[in-house]
């Protein structure tokens, strides 16, 4: 039974009379198909207008729109699951709401009223619940976003915005699924600096990361592992995930020092480690320590942590022309236990002991 009262928000709901054919769970890729409806709310004349649930559709914006020139844009990512009992749920949407607010503040964008983000998205997902796939490993990916829509050139914060959310039934983020990936340690380019925007989910962070990712992909790696911008020594995070290392039976992940994204999966995994009696340290390891650990055998596992990929084992780290193999390129015990625990809670085979699951009606 739901204990928390849902806030009342006004939403206009458009009738739609054409529905798309839903893809089979087995055919799903990541972020390639979108549901019938979306959420759209405009900000203009210094206030938020009434939000609308409308047919998934194109925007028509003049070419001088601010977001096209100065990249004033933020977004979020979360998932809805069909649990084993058939119940449909969303994972930790309140955490996305908090991070979205921080991103908006950092990018000089208006914030939403308390509770609006969660309730409007929950209503959209409820209307689209038949789109939530069922197979383990699939989910309905939720993509909230805000863009600057004032039509005017000149670098300044926009006076108009769209807050919108689209939904995408999705399969595995990496083509290989839950299997070890190959990641390149990037020692030339950097993702974010302390004092910059790395700790919020701004589109510009991702645009800035593409060049290094392209080179890494040409070299046969799936993503880049970023080092700190100052010394190029301390491991920060991966392209779309935080990262953890198992060294001497302790799970290490970089602290939230201002240049990495405070991942919701990272926060969940730290809690799950506590629950399972696995020691953790929020300490940034240097790449030298990591290489030495791999060579001595003390560093036994590496895994990425993020909403899109959930827990992604890393089998190979490429650094300075050398490919270092971790745990024989096999999924390690800690990685497997955390994966089973996290997915168990998401798919309902393990009790939601921390209140992470938001039911939808
Ligand atoms: C750069 C970056 N780091 C970490 C994460 C993981 O965050 P979360 O677990 O909230 O998805 C993401 C994904 O959103 C990301 O894009």
- Per residue in 106-125, pLDDT (tens digit) is 999 999 999 999 999 999 99
pLDDT digits (tens, 9 = 90+) for 25-34: 999 999 999 9
164 and 201 share one domain: no
Q: What is the mean pLDDT of residues 8-13?
A: 95
Q: Please choose from 143, 226, 306, 343 the residue to mutate so as to test ligand 1's pocket, defined by most ligand atoms within 8 A of CB.
A: 306
DSSP class of residue 25? G
130 and 197 share one domain: no
pLDDT digits (tens, 9 = 90+) for 180-204: 999 999 999 999 999 999 999 999 9
Q: How many Å lie between the centroid of ligand 1 and the Cα of residue 356? A: 17
Enclosing domain of residue 298: 181-347
Query: What's the pLDDT at 270?
Result: 98
What number of other Cβ atoms are within 10 A of residue 59's Cβ?
A: 10
**CA atoms within 13 Å, Cβ hemisphere of 110:** 20
Residue ending a domain, among 115, 150, 171, is 171
108 and 152 share one domain: yes
Ligand 1 site residues (CB inside 6 A) read: 77, 237, 240-242, 261, 263-266, 306-307
Query: What's the pLDDT at 205?
Result: 97
Close Cβ partners of 196 (under 8 Å, ≥ 6 residues apart) = 259
Query: What's the pLDDT at 5?
Result: 78
Cα-only R_g, the chain: 21
Q: Hey, is 286 helix, strand or coil?
A: strand
Query: What's the pLDDT at 2?
Result: 46
In a domain, 360, yes or no: no
Terminal CA-CA length for the chain: 11
**Residue of the CA atom closest to atom 8 of ligand 1:** 263
230 and 263 share one domain: yes
Residue 16: pLDDT band by 50, 70, 90 thresholds? very high
**Tokens for 35?**
């549901």
Atom nearest to 96 CA in ligand 1:
10
Whole-structure pTM value? 0.97
Query: What's the pLDDT at 4?
Result: 60
Does pLDDT of 1 surpass 50? no
Identify the CATH number of the domain in which residue 329 sits: 3.20.10.10
Atom nearest to 266 CA in ligand 1:
9
In a domain, 103, yes or no: yes
pLDDT digits (tens, 9 = 90+) for 279-293: 999 999 999 999 999
pLDDT digits (tens, 9 = 90+) for 203-254: 999 999 999 999 999 999 999 999 999 999 999 999 899 999 999 999 999 9
Does pLDDT of 101 surpass 50? yes
Does pLDDT of 142 surpass 60? yes
191 and 94 share one domain: no
144 and 216 share one domain: no
115 and 222 share one domain: no
């Amino acid at each position: 039974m739901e204990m928390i009262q849902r806030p009342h928000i006004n939403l206009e709901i458009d009738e739609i009379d054409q529905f798309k054919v839903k893809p089979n769970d087995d055919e799903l890729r990541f972020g390639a198909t979108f549901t019938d409806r979306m959420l759209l709310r405009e900000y203009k004349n210094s206030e938020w207008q009434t939000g609308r649930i409308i047919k998934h559709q194109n925007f028509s914006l003049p070419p001088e729109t601010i977001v096209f020139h100065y990249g004033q844009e933020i977004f979020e990512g979360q998932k809805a699951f069909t649990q084993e009992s058939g119940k449909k749920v969303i994972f930790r949407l309140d955490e996305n709401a908090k991070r979205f607010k921080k991103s908006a503040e950092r990018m000089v964008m208006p914030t939403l009223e308390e509770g609006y983000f969660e309730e409007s998205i929950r209503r959209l997902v409820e209307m689209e619940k038949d789109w939530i796939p069922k197979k383990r490993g699939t989910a309905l990916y939720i993509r909230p976003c805000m863009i600057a829509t004032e039509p005017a050139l000149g670098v300044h914060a926009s006076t108009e915005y769209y807050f919108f959310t689209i939904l995408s039934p999705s399969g595995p983020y990496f083509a290989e699924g839950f299997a070890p990936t190959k990641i390149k340690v990037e020692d030339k380019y950097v993702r974010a600096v302390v004092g910059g925007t790395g700790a919020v989910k701004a589109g510009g962070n991702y645009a800035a990361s593409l060049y290094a990712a392209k080179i890494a992909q040409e070299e046969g790696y799936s993503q880049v592992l970023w080092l700190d911008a100052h010394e190029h020594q301390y491991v920060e995070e991966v392209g779309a995930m935080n990262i953890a290392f198992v060294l001497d039976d302790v799970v290490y992940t970089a602290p939230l020092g201002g240049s990495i994204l405070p991942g919701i999966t990272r926060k969940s995994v730290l809690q799950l480690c506590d629950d399972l009696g696995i020691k953790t340290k929020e300490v940034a390891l240097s790449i030298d320590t990591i290489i030495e650990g791999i060579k001595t055998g003390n560093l036994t596992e590496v895994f990425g942590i993020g909403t899109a990929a959930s827990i992604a084992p890393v089998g190979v780290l490429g650094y300075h022309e050398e490919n270092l193999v971790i745990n024989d390129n096999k999924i390690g015990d800690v990685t497997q236990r955390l994966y089973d625990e996290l997915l168990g809670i998401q798919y309902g085979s393990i009790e939601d002991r921390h209140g992470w699951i938001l039911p939808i009606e």
